[in-house]
Structure 1
Amino acid sequence: MKTLIVCASRYGSTLEIGRWIGERLPWTETDCFAIAYAPSPADYDLVIYRLEGAY
């Protein structure tokens, strides 16, 4: 399953957690991006979008 993880992260902590989550998912096709650099979600089967504390 191709998965996109998108995080809002001012200092990089949330992005680091997003990458950590992606490494632990049971499938291999996982991409993690800061919201400013995220590609279109149209090519993904699952999108995880985290904006808590968004700036």
Structure 2
Amino acid sequence: MLPLSFSLRLITRGFIFETLNDTLALFGSVKPNDKTNEYKNKNYQSHLKNHLANLSTI
């Protein structure tokens, strides 16, 4: 198992890189990664569906 500080560093670097990549894509410097964005959208939609399903059972 990785030490917590190392894991947090990897997560932070991944987040910073992803944010930088999205920012550069906004200004046209790089092409956005369509597959990643498509995955994120599908993942977010299923996340919302789960919340709605949980609310309807209350």
Instruction: With the length of structure 1 as denominator, give the TM-score of the two structures.
Output: 0.30
Greater RCO structure (CA 8 Å; 6+ sep): 1
Would you tell me which structure has more helix in proportion to its own residues? 2
Name the larger-Rg structure. 2
